[in-house]
Amino acid sequence: MAGPCEFWTSICSWCDSAAKYGGPVLLTGRRVLFPNRLGCVHFQVPQRLDACFFSSVPSQPVPPLAQTLQGYLKALEPLLPPQELSHTRRMVQEFGRSGGLGPQLQEGLERRAMLTKNWISPSWVQWAYLESRQPLPVHSSPAISLPRRDYNGWRSQLVFASKLIAAVLDFKAKINTGQLPVEHMRGKPLCMELYPLLFSSCRIPGPKHDYVTHHRRSPTHITVVRNYQFFQLEVYNSDGSRLTESQIHSQLLRIRSQSWKTDKEPMGILTSEHRHTWGQAYNRLLTDKLNRESVRMIETGLFSLCLDSPVMRISDEKYASRKAAQVLHGGGTFSNSGNRWFDKTLQFVVGEDGSWGLLYEQATAEGPPIATLLEKPDPKRAPLVPLPMPKKLYFHIDREIKRDIEHAKQNLDILINDLDVNVFNFKRFGKELPKQHRLSPHSFIQVAMQLAYYRVHNEVCATCDMVSQRMFRGGRTEFVRSPINQTLRFILAFDDREAKVQLFREAVDAYSELIGHGIDRHLLGLKLQAIEEGYSIPKVFMDTAYGVATHWKLRTGQVPANTDSVMCFGPLVPDGYAICYNPQADHVHFSITAFNCCEETNAEKLALTLKDTLCRLQDHDALLHPSNENTRLLLHF
């Protein structure tokens, strides 16, 4: 099962391939945001694109209540002592009994499912993203670090950036003209709803919750930022055709000539703050007309291009981690963090040293997988017309705003210094090895991560693995939970050479069976439905067990791609880890993050243990062979 973030690596893969070419586009604009009575966001897609992207995608059903409650109890079994589990079991049975509160809330969700496009996605976006008050860097916005380009120097940086801009605009043209092929999974079409919403969108800070804007008439400019200075760059000619690569390159040269290092304040740092703090500074900033106009240009731009200074070269092994961290947060206020506007949905990062990647904001852009597009548009000659100078965006910075910037710089540096990023390439084997032995590569790696965590911490923990729900209209994501009983039995028997053979295969197969039977979005829906209907939060959600079950010490995500890319993001909890992996045929790219402030966690130690665990699983040949000829063939991710 492909993870929800493969979408972005696929875009980057396509852009990497198509960046050598140019082509014409047609540009259309839309507005797609409105609030509903719950304060959640819905995105309205143009009718022409709506028919193209969703016509054959079914609505997301509400799972049976009994199935979800049973799945919840099973998920708790490896995590709770027997006495506490018995207490929780009684509480769950009371919640789900006939005539009880659970069935009543279930009826409310089923009514919502009949009346709305999707009964849970808007509430999920609101609860998981827009109501979160944590800073976007590290805590929310994921980054994808792409393979280093073979260049070093600002001239090649601008050449590649020009090709990248052209490729992204060509990708946008395919969306606007309905030429983006509808994707399929196991023969069924997938919802393409998010694609029209990627460009000219931005998250806006609010006092209690944020909101997302996407502009009706899609602007014709992007934002380029270099040395903390922002520029408005028009990327379309007067006839609607996009600029050619040579035109874009000449404009980037102009931007470079206007953006030598100065003592200008890094305005983008403000967007890295705690959301309430940034919201207050945002309101102060917009009281000035000049600031208001500059901010609007950033927010309405199609996307942002960040032209970063070189990352300090270190050993090749550590360079991958440093490069990924640079894309994720910019490396600190003395590096490239001022070259970000973290609220922006799409930010492409191109370094002077050949590093590049993508940083995206999840409220709009939590995109599931797409097929890599390999079509290469035909080159187009540049029209002989004068181009307007890129417009430099200026800000009026008073004493209060300067104070806000200084506080933001301090807080961001603390956050960045606290995050440990460990990126490595496991080269002993890749996804083909599990496939050869009739095991799901995705489930194989998930069980290996559980074993590695246990070997480091001598316990198992609540783990979420995010998977796609795009087989439903408006679907976003769901969690696959682990560990499960089969995983725990295998872990505890790992030193028993005979017993662990069968238990390993049972653990891998059992995890594969969980995919498609998530419980967490349903549980969240029941909780929010109770609040909407005026009830107190049900006791089952106030129970200690629910706190244990949702304290995600392992946040995981498979991000398969056609390139050797790696995604990274921060842990969900202070004493947790985040692990992303990109399985290739004969190797697997991993990123592991943890917070240095927690004495219990150590990203490097977990990385070393995970490598050793994978090697031990490979070396124990009996673990990989099927126990009988009827073992299911699980080749899908």
Q: Note the pLDDT tens digit of each residue in 147-172.
A: 988 888 999 999 999 999 999 999 89
Beta strands at 356-360 and 419-426: parallel, antiparallel or unpaired: unpaired
Mean pLDDT score of the chain: 87
Residues 323-382: pLDDT tens digits? 999 999 999 999 999 999 999 999 999 999 999 999 999 998 754 432 232 233 333 444
Query: Per-residue pLDDT for 52 more than 90?
Result: no
pLDDT bracket for residue 563 (50, 70, 90): confident
Q: Is the pLDDT of residue 607 over 60?
A: yes
Q: Greater confidence, 78 or 620?
A: 78
What pTM value is reported for the model? 0.89
Looking at per-residue pLDDT, the higher value among 238 and 412 belongs to 412
Cis previous bond, 483, omega within 30: yes
Q: Is the pLDDT of residue 418 over 70?
A: yes
Q: Is the pLDDT of residue 39 over 50?
A: no
Tokens, residue 229: 């200075």
pLDDT score for 560:
84
Among 1-5, 234-238, 357-361, the range scoring the smallest mean pLDDT is 1-5
Give the least confident one: 203-207, 363-367, 447-451, 527-531: 363-367
Q: State pLDDT tens for residues 497-514.
A: 888 888 999 999 999 999
What pLDDT is attached to residue 277?
Answer: 97
Domain with CATH 3.30.559.10 in the chain: 67-123+421-624
DSSP strand E in 456-602: where? 463-468, 477-482, 554-558, 566-568, 577-583, 588-595
Q: How confident is the model at residue 402 (pLDDT cuts 50, 70, 90)?
A: very high
pLDDT band per the 50, 70, 90 thresholds, residue 275: very high
Residue 23 pLDDT greater than 80, yes or no: no
Give the CATH number of domain 6-58+144-418.
Answer: 3.30.559.70
Beta bridge mates, 566: 145
Confidence of residue 427 (pLDDT cuts 50, 70, 90): very high
Superfamily per CATH, domain 67-123+421-624:
Chloramphenicol acetyltransferase-like domain (3.30.559.10)
| pLDDT at residue 637, rounded to an integer | 38
What is the chain's length?
A: 637
Helix (H) or strand (E) holding 275: helix 275-285
Encode burial over 355-368: b for 16+ CB neighbours within 10 A, e otherwise. Answer: bbbbbbbbbbbbbb
**Residue whose C-alpha is closest to residue 561's, from 430, 376, 420, 437:** 430
Q: Which strands sit side by side in the sheet containing 463-468, from one edge to the other?
A: 419-426, 588-595, 577-583, 554-558, 463-468, 477-482
Per residue in 475-492, pLDDT (tens digit) is 999 999 999 999 999 999
Q: CA 110, CA 387: separation in Å to the nearest integer?
A: 56
Residue 49: HSE in the Cβ half-sphere, 13 Å Cα cutoff? 24
Residue 16 has pLDDT above 80, yes or no: no
pLDDT(43) > 60: no
- Whether 87 shows a pLDDT value over 80: the answer reads yes
- At residue 37, the pLDDT reads 30
**Residue 197: per-residue pLDDT:** 87
Of 302-316, 331-345, 424-438, the poorest mean pLDDT is in 302-316
Q: Residues 390-402: what's their mean pLDDT?
A: 96
Short-list 609, 616, 562, 624, CA closest to 589? 562
Query: Mean pLDDT throughout 172-197?
Result: 86
pLDDT band at 50 (very low <50, low <70, confident <90, very high): low
State the span(s) of the chain assigned CATH 3.30.559.70.
6-58+144-418
pLDDT at 494 over 50: yes
Whether pLDDT at 26 is above 50:
no
Enclosing H/E stretch for 160: helix 154-176
Q: Rounded mean pLDDT of 449-460? A: 98
- Cα 15 to chain centroid, rounded: 18
pLDDT higher than threshold 80 for residue 433: yes
In the prediction, which pLDDT does 622 show? 64
According to the model, what pLDDT value does residue 51 have? Answer: 53
Q: Is the pLDDT of residue 193 over 50?
A: yes
By three-state DSSP, how is residue 307 classified? strand
| pLDDT (mean) for 54-71 | 91
The Cα 578–Cα 453 span in angstroms is: 12
Mean pLDDT computed over 241-265: 92
Cβ pair 337, 329 in contact under 8 A? yes
